[in-house]
Chain A
């Protein structure tokens, strides 16, 4: 199952998305300041940070919901001026939020094409091309290596990991070049998270740029090519995989000193109890 597309690895040189010294303030709160990152085709850029680190603000800038107050946002090397997520989507930047915008009572194939139904026929007889929709969904899922028993089953019967996978396949099918995944593994068990990571790898191997937002370094490290660490709205640095070990990542992520302090406190309290 090495389904590598023609439009694959353009090399690290060409960045699909690039953010340079971006900042964003909401009222008196600095949500993000001086953050830079790159997303390249065929690479996974992980954005790590604790709650309140500025991950959500960064996603909203990338997905076109907010424009940065300062700094630059480049798409294909050209400054982007998105006014809505629709603009970003039209440029191939797809954002998948945790709730995934799927309807539980509707079948997989109906959900897959919701809002972009393929149609057949003419005038008042124009109809949803059901046969093609089912066929395309089956093919897309299969080519991503996603094993869904039956495309007719309601999405509500899929597990969380399967839903994520279908959402990824949907974004890929509708021409996404960049996938922004907001905490896709946070609500999942170990096994399900592994499944989703595998599909992220699939998307990467097809030449998509992936932005993977998470607070779990153990999910990020195996799949990431670059790691952007955020803390209280500021960047703690962007690292290539060669520049950082899993332990360093975990420790930076947890705020190394704080973690040591915590370990100290806990160990002292232990014998007493």
Chain B
């Protein structure tokens, strides 16, 4: 017995730290911060922090949800355009049909849940790759967003949310700002932190979290020990849809209008943030905190390039390089995790 204890201590800290999925994202975030902080004084000031945490927050909410889904072994390409769909539903109902903001948001939530459910149901029933299924949903939603918006308004955007009933309260809750040390921070940052904390708790400390890792790691083996794999996956698609609804609402309330093409192209950014955060494309491994940090890296790079006075065109290059580095790092971690030790 004492022998087992001795070995337990010896294999402890270093290995456990190395095997954390978010390690790469922590190192990356520190490096990117250090780099831009050395280039620009604005970047490291509190105003600068508030500035780059802003894009990180809405992206982060989505990246965390996508990370859960990816750990569960699936993709959702329709998540980006769904933020547009939910925003459009909310603004159209509140401005064209006179619904109070809260009622409009509730309808948008129900639609989002339904779309998530359908995505999940098709994936688990047909066993088609979710990449293809949600690519289909993505294109369909893109068409619906544009078609319906044009039919109703004759333009490609809906606006005028400011006049809707309950706007001020909803805006304060989802799209307002909170002064911290004389600087206004977006309230979405709190939502993002909350979502990350909740997702981390679910993943690491609940039965559902165990099931998510299991269905992503080995679907068949999970079923064999009684994990309801189909239910778990459908719930993950619905969770992603709820996140899209939250982000869609935040954006709509902030800008009081929604473009018909809103959210398109974001779906890959979510996946990139999740992968930088340590998620494996093959599923079964990853972390919510990692995905949140992936979003921070994205936010810092997005604003940092501007603060440093560079051409913003270089942003995509930077993003691509980060992604490549992160996937390489993840591959080593995975090999290490799966390597047989005697």
Q: Judge whether A149 and B217 touch: CB under 8 Å.
A: no
- B-side contacts of A157, CB under 8 Å: 337-341
Whether A271 sits at the interface, judged by CB under 8 Å, is: no
Residue on A with the closest CB to B205?
A127
Q: Are B7 and A149 in touch, CB under 8 angstroms? A: yes
Q: Does A69 contact B (CB under 8 A)?
A: no
Q: Chain B residues near A99: list those with CB within 8 A.
A: 221
Q: Which residues of A lie under 8 Å from residue B207 when comparing CB positions?
A: 117, 119, 126-128
Q: Chain B: interface secondary structure?
A: helix
Give bound CA distance, A117 to B202, whole Å. 14
Q: Within the complex, which residue of A104, A127, A149, A152 is in contact with B206, where a contact is CB–CB below 8 Å?
A: A127
Q: Is the CB of B340 within 8 A of A113?
A: no
CB distance from A128 to the nearest CB of B (A): 5
A128 engages B209 (CB within 8 Å):
yes
Alpha-carbon distance between A152 and B284 when the two chains are bound, in angstroms: 16
On whether the beta carbons of B338 and A114 are closer than 8 Å, the reply is: no
Complex alpha-carbon distance, A126 and B227, angstroms? 17
Q: How far is the CA of A249 from the CA of B220 in the complex (A)?
A: 37
CA distance A114 to B218 in the complex (A): 12
Assess the B337–A105 pair: CB atoms within 8 A: yes
- B-facing residues in A39-98 (Cβ within 8 Å): 86
| Distance to closest chain A CB from B218 (angstroms) | 5
Residues of chain A lying within 8 A (CB to CB) of residue B4: 142, 147-149
Q: Are B226 and A116 in contact (CB under 8 A)?
A: yes
Residue A110 at the B interface, CB < 8 A? Answer: yes
Set of chain A residues within 8 Å of B205, measured between Cβ atoms: 127-128, 130
B206–A115 touching, CB < 8 Å: no
A158 within 8 A of B: yes
Q: Which residues of A contact B135 (CB under 8 A)?
A: none
- Asked if B16 and A152 sit within 8 Å, CB to CB, the answer is yes
Closest to B6 in A: A149
* Chain A residues with CB under 8 A of B204: 130
Q: Does A103 contact B (CB under 8 A)?
A: yes
CB of B340 within 8 A of CB of A105, answer no
Q: A110-B210, A127-B205, A128-B209 are in contact. Are A103 and B218 (CB under 8 A)?
A: yes
Interface of A, secondary structure class, is loop
Given contacts A116-B226, A130-B205, A150-B8, contact A103 B340 (CB under 8 A): no
Is B225 on the interface with A (CB-CB < 8 A)?
yes
A15 at the interface (CB under 8 A from B): no
A114:B337 contact, CB within 8 angstroms: no
Within 8 A of A (CB), among B73-114: none
A257 within 8 A of B: no
- List B contacts of A102 (CB < 8 A): 218, 221
**CB closest chain-A residue, reference B224:** A101
Q: How large is the interface on B (under 10, 10 to 19, 20 to 34, 35 or more residues)?
A: 35 or more
Contact A149 B221 (CB under 8 A): no
Whether a CB of chain B sits under 8 angstroms from the CB of A153 is yes
Contact B213 A103 (CB under 8 A): yes
A115, B227: Cα distance in complex, Å = 5
A136 to chain B, nearest CB (A): 15
Are A114 and B206 interface neighbours, CB within 8 A?
no
Interface size on A, residues (CB 8 A): 32
Q: Pick the residue among B210, B284, B340 that contacts A159 (CB under 8 A).
A: B340
B198-233: CB near A (< 8 Å → 1, else 0) gives: 000100111101110110011011101111000000
Q: How far is the CA of A156 from the CA of B19 in the complex (A)?
A: 13
Tell me, yes or no, whether B14 is within 8 Å of chain A by CB: no
CB-based contact A115/B284 at 8 Å = no
Contacts A102-B221, A119-B207, A142-B1 given; does A149 touch B285 at CB 8 Å: no
B321 contacts the other chain (CB 8 A): no
Cross-chain contact A104 with B218 (CB below 8 angstroms): yes
* Cα of A147 to Cα of B3 in the assembled complex, Å: 9
| B342 contacts chain A at the CB level, 8 A cutoff | yes
Is A9's CB within 8 Å of the partner chain B? no
Q: A156 to B337, Cβ gap below 8 A?
A: yes
**In whole angstroms, how far apart are the Cα atoms of A153 and B212 in the complex?**
18
B11 at the interface (CB under 8 A from A): yes
- Considering the complex, give the chain A residue whose CB is closest to the CB of B282: A105
Other contacts beyond A99-B221, A126-B206, A127-B201: 10, CB < 8 A: A101-B221, A103-B221, A105-B338, A106-B214, A114-B211, A117-B210, A154-B337, A154-B338, A157-B338, A157-B341
A residues engaging B (CB < 8 A)? 86, 99-106, 110, 113-117, 119, 126-128, 130, 142, 147-150, 152-154, 156-159
- List 20 A-B residue pairs with CB atoms under 8 Å apart, sorted by A's residue number: A86-B226, A100-B221, A101-B222, A102-B218, A102-B221, A103-B213, A105-B285, A106-B210, A106-B214, A114-B210, A115-B226, A116-B225, A119-B207, A127-B206, A128-B210, A130-B205, A147-B3, A147-B7, A156-B338, A157-B339
Query: B: which residues have CB within 8 A of A?
Result: 1, 3-4, 7-8, 11-12, 15-16, 19, 201, 204-207, 209-211, 213-214, 217-218, 220-222, 224-227, 284-285, 334, 337-342
